[in-house]
């Protein structure tokens, strides 16, 4: 792995930046009808695939540790992994979007793309490399049929 910053820490930093943007730069916030409902729906959209992904890893008795993908014992491809290779990170992204909607902060226009870029470059790509080494052809076939995010 290139960087061993746990994804939850990256998420918390991004969430803190969204909160700080909303509080420190209120002129960059807006309110709109259905704001809380959209935020609640995005929370659900984040918790469901993320939770299902963790349960799939536990069911398959493989590591959930994102800093040690080379310790994976099973290539999980069922459930939400049929649609996204990274449903846990997609779940975190949805939670960030929920925060952005709830606060109405336009700082999300910088924070959210930065989160996606950082996670892709420093977490997902190194994970993909490690999983390629562990699962070889099976992982290559999985890469060909399932997208990285959605």
Give the pLDDT score at 70: 87
Please provide the DSSP assignment of 63-106 as one string. Answer: ---TT-GGG--S---SGGGGT-S-HHHHHHHHHHHHHHHHHTBT
Domain presence at residue 114: yes
> ∠ at Cα 26 (22, 31), nearest 5°?
80
At residue 123, does pLDDT exceed 90? Answer: yes
Contact 80, 150 (CB under 8 A): no
Domain presence at residue 104: yes
Find the mean pLDDT for residues 116-141: 96
Domain presence at residue 15: yes
Domain with 109 in it: 7-145
Read off the pLDDT of residues 1-46 as tens digits, 9 standing for 90 and up.
556 789 999 999 999 999 999 999 999 999 999 999 999 999 999 9
Read off the pLDDT of residues 37-88 as tens digits, 9 standing for 90 and up.
999 999 999 999 999 999 999 999 999 999 889 899 999 999 999 999 999 9
Read off the pLDDT of residues 91-122 as tens digits, 9 standing for 90 and up.
999 999 999 999 999 999 999 999 999 999 99
The SS3 call for residue 148 is: coil
Give the pLDDT score at 67: 87
Domain presence at residue 89: yes
Rounded CA-CA distance 12/139 in Å is 30
Domain presence at residue 1: no
Q: Residue 105: left (phi > 0), alpha (psi -120 to 50), or beta?
A: beta
Give the pLDDT score at 2: 56
The SS3 call for residue 3 is: coil
Buried b (16+ CB within 10 A) or exposed e, 87-101: bbbbbbbbbbbbbbb
Give the pLDDT score at 139: 97
Give how many domains the chain has, as a whole number.
1
Rounded CA-CA distance 66/118 in Å is 14
Domain presence at residue 2: no
Domain presence at residue 113: yes
Domain presence at residue 22: yes
Give the pLDDT score at 4: 73
At residue 130, does pLDDT exceed 90? Answer: yes
């Amino acid at each position: 792995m290139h960087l061993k910053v746990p994804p939850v820490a990256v998420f918390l930093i991004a969430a803190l930046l969204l909160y700080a943007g909303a509080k420190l730069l209120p002129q960059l916030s807006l309110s709109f009808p259905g704001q809380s409902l959209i935020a609640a729906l995005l929370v659900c959209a984040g918790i469901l695939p993320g939770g299902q992904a963790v349960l799939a890893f536990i069911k398959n008795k493989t590591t959930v540790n994102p800093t040690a993908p080379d310790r994976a014992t099973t290539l999980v491809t069922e459930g939400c992994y049929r649609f996204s290779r990274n449903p846990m990170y997609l779940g975190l992204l949805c939670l960030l979007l929920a925060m952005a909607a709830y606060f109405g902060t336009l700082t999300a226009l910088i924070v959210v793309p930065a989160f996606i870029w950082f996670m892709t470059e420093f977490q997902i790509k190194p994970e993909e490399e490690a999983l390629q080494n562990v699962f070889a052809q099976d992982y290559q076939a999985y890469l060909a049929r399932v997208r990285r995010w959605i």
